[in-house]
Structure 1
């Protein structure tokens, strides 16, 4: 089976479906860092099948970014699909490798279930506090956090550096994806690994930029051609300009 690929420095980018590509990978990874479609924008079928821009952007911002696929599943199909890709990702993970999966509050329970169903050992949840710049809700609590459900591929030694258990930073001022996240957030999450990183839902290539900053090999997979091209372009431009540099020493504290 052939897929379109691009090699940019230490990064290999695949255009295609993660479920099809993951079993073909011939290397093993120290980390799986994934930001899958949450499928949480709507409780009824008509709401779920709306364009992602309609579900996750205000009216004035629609059309700024390409739409993304895979966001129409209900809870049962999301659990089944998540268990499938998480199992295939674990098959190419090193012993003790970390798996870190983004989620919002709606999909937090089912994501933790899928992680365990796929054979990972669930280790905890890392909140991403998006600060008070997040969208307010009058008469309610501000929607201020997203979450990273994380686990390991079997035992992981208590050795090496320690990463924060909570990350506090706003969403990027300039995004390249509807659900874009900060490069610095990805750098912090991968600060406790020193091997290749697998990103099954590459989007605009943010994890790839963080890997370049930390000098880690990277494999990214993206099903949407528009976002695949954006990711390739961002990595090329960062490499040419020399602006890909580590922004923080996240892992300076000793492990407990």
Structure 2
């Protein structure tokens, strides 16, 4: 039986540079946000987990979370530019971000050569970060677009808001992990073929891709999460 997935334990940018042009059918990914702190101490902390969860020791740590906004935009433009080259014409692109980095990421997407087409809202439900007297931070965002023209004018009309709890489909395996049902919903907009994820984390995009009958190729530089993702993908495949 042919392999349904490939995952590489390497950094995204040099890996993307080594890939052939026009090789992948869609990009669906959740890169580090470099967000989560109002003050310099939080933004420059060595602990990414401490910015996002109450129990920093619950998940393995990950790096790339302490860039300032300008360097985050430059870095995002760089990896997106390399991703643009390896995608086929018409390929959809979907990139997660939060409210702080939303303006930065929409600019980076366009600077890399993609056509920006809109924003999908992930409603994480009311169970997330209640604060008395304030609005809940219960949404994250998926910036979506394409490499040139959209790949198809057929298919179902998909919603612009998806409502899933952070543990929908099973417990989180990553500090900022996305639920597999959410990823499955997003992948419905992708053509058949190979889904690319340069920031694979615990492998949720890959699980959704395999379950939909597509192929998955990605990379994850943190060894702990690479091992978690490989185990999950192996059990799914």
Q: TM-score range by the shorter chain?
A: over 0.9
Q: Which residue of 2 aligns with 1:75?
A: 69
Partner secondary structure for residue 187 of structure 1: helix
Determine which of 41, 46, 64 is the counterpart of 2:41. Answer: 46
Q: Which residue of 2 aligns with 1:150?
A: 144
1:48-77 superposed Cα distances (whole Å, 9 cap, x missing partner): 12201211111xx22111011101100100
1:101 aligned onto 2:99: no
Partner secondary structure for residue 79 of structure 1: helix
Cα displacement (A) at 1:158: 2.1
Cα displacement (A) at 1:131: 0.8
Distance 2:164 2:195 in 1: 23
1:113-154 superposed Cα distances (whole Å, 9 cap, x missing partner): 000000000000000001111111111001110000011100
Q: Give 5+ residue unaligned stretches, structure 1.
A: 1-7, 240-256
Structure 1 or 2: more strand by fraction: 1
Is the 8 Å Cα contact of residues 40 and 107 (structure 1) preserved in structure 2?
A: yes
| Bigger shift: residues 191-200 or 98-107 | 191-200
Determine which of 207, 210, 217 is the counterpart of 2:208. Answer: 210
Q: Give 5+ residue unaligned stretches, structure 2.
A: none
Matches within 5 A, 1:173-192: 174-192=171-189
Determine which of 147, 170, 174 is the counterpart of 2:165. Answer: 170
Cα displacement (A) at 1:159: 2.4
Q: Which residue of 2 aligns with 1:14?
A: 8
Q: Which residue of 2 aligns with 1:249?
A: none
Q: Which residue of 1 aligns with 2:233?
A: 235
Q: Which residue of 2 aligns with 1:248?
A: none
Deviation >3 Å, runs of 4+? none
The alignment of Structure 1 onto Structure 2 pairs a total of residues equal to 230
Determine which of 100, 103, 113 is the counterpart of 2:107. Answer: 113
Q: Which residue of 2 aligns with 1:134?
A: 128
1:195 aligned onto 2:190: no
Partner secondary structure for residue 151 of structure 1: strand
**TM-score with structure 1 length normalisation?**
0.86
**TM-score with structure 2 length normalisation?**
0.93
1:141-175 superposed Cα distances (whole Å, 9 cap, x missing partner): 01110000011100124223332211011111511
Distance 1:187 1:227 in 2: 20
Cα displacement (A) at 1:179: 0.4
1:55 aligned onto 2:41: no
Distance 2:140 2:49 in 1: 19
Partner secondary structure for residue 94 of structure 1: coil
